[in-house]
Structure 1
């Protein structure tokens, strides 16, 4: 199984277009040892075969396709290796890239939960808009842990589990969470038996969820914030990381503590990193702490083989 990291930043990317925090200003000016990132998305394909699954469709999708030739194998006059798309939530930074696929010659197989389909029909009507172009063939995901296959991709077996997080601000159930607002994925390669756990938005880890993470060869999990009060301290928000559905890396019960408990062979990676997170500074104490715990920070263009 091949996992291509198309984008590794949270909403807004890094540097964020209107942000002049220390990190964004530093990467723009070249005074900070840091790498620019687009908004989070991955492409997963079996080792044998070119076609695969796009997991989340970032607003930066066209740039990501240009930067990753594997997505454009050029086998015909019009071609793409994107056989299907899967959405883990209905957030802007994970869905609006669907509009960039509107020139497809046939409907796009789209895997998502009922909650996300509702978000993208009512709150942000992307599915109705796409109906005027290529259209979509929606494949219903039930986040109950049952195995399902991906249309057009042989060899990948996927399970979805409901996560504690927050629905998008425009969601009909923003303040009344519904199962499937946000999901985590367990993706297995049927040929090799290798497994990855993927959850870019993760507000809470339960014992059952941790067992799934511990069964994986690699985990790509929420790297949004370093501290719970990160945005508050910077004067950018009145809400904590947990308030908006993200488990911070540091502090009691944070992501580092959970990742430390995983089996030694498990590869640990953070994805969906916010532009305010000091781990983006490669010379920071926070980045050094991650290294001591054997935790990697995903970068755009990275190839992961679990």
Structure 2
């Protein structure tokens, strides 16, 4: 079973187009030891040819170009993307659907009813796509039932309802619902090994720790290093948890929770905001993560389990 990290940044990418924070300006000037990143997405395959795209980033065309496995060229018009699964309705996770509109058949699209409601009304992507390739809608359960995808019969998936927030355009932004944000548990049917993916996460419960403890690898929310990161840089009045993201550092932060996992679990942070100092590879923050056995995802990272 393979996971390919197509994009490892939070919304806006790194560097962000209009940002001159120390990270973005340093990367542009070449004065930081860091690498550019596109917006968060992964692809999952059990055969290396047919892929489940998990979140469709606005950078999907660049990501397809940079990952030739997604374009196997078996026909004059072809794609290795057999289906798309949405973790939430955030703009940086759904806008790429519009770039897949040239399909000749409806795009298999998996999401919870809550996500479908947001991308069908407040940000009506499914309605727009109905005038192009259309979508073959499959609703995701959040009650522990297995998810079966006709186009990818070798994948074994379960979803987990998570505490986070729907996008700002959602009428439920201030009153989140179960199903607004999910995690994805992926099982290798040949070995029983599991991976867990959760790019948006505002709370780590004991139940979630138990689930992650049984995984070979976890890829979890790495958006902000500190709770007040955006406020200290005068980039936003909102703190990390206001946006639905648990910061890495400090009491109760992601690092503290990941330390609770068994030593054999591979721990990777993904969905990293352009302001996060851990993007700098020789920074104290990166050194701290390394000391805790935590990796930072990068575009093109390949994970087998």
What residue is the counterpart of 1:298 in the other structure?
297
What residue is the counterpart of 1:213 in the other structure?
212
Q: Which moved more, 1:48-57 or 1:253-262?
A: 48-57
Tell me, what secondary structure is at the counterpart of 2:154?
A: strand
What residue is the counterpart of 2:44 in the other structure?
44
2:2 maps to 1:21:
no
How does the TM-score come out when normalised to structure 1?
0.98
The structural deviation recorded for 1:210 is 1.3
The structural deviation recorded for 1:113 is 0.3
How does the TM-score come out when normalised to structure 2?
0.99
2:114 maps to 1:115:
yes
What is the CA–CA distance in structure 2 between the aligned matches of 1:211 and 1:60, rounded to whole Å?
Answer: 34
What residue is the counterpart of 2:252 in the other structure?
253
Deviations 1:206-262 (A, max 9, x none): 111111111110000000000001011111111110111100000001000111110
Structure-to-structure mapping, 1:84-233, within 5 angstroms: 84-233=83-232
The structural deviation recorded for 1:95 is 0.1
What residue is the counterpart of 1:63 in the other structure?
62
What is the CA–CA distance in structure 1 between the aligned matches of 2:48 and 2:62, rounded to whole Å?
Answer: 23
Structure 1 contact 89–182 (Cα < 8 Å) conserved:
yes
What is the CA–CA distance in structure 2 between the aligned matches of 1:279 and 1:64, rounded to whole Å?
Answer: 23
Deviations 1:81-134 (A, max 9, x none): 111000000000000000010000100110000110000011100000000000
Structure 1 contact 224–272 (Cα < 8 Å) conserved:
yes
The structural deviation recorded for 1:49 is 4.8
What is the CA–CA distance in structure 1 between the aligned matches of 2:283 and 2:271, rounded to whole Å?
Answer: 18
Structure 1 contact 228–241 (Cα < 8 Å) conserved:
yes
Tell me, what secondary structure is at the counterpart of 1:154?
A: coil
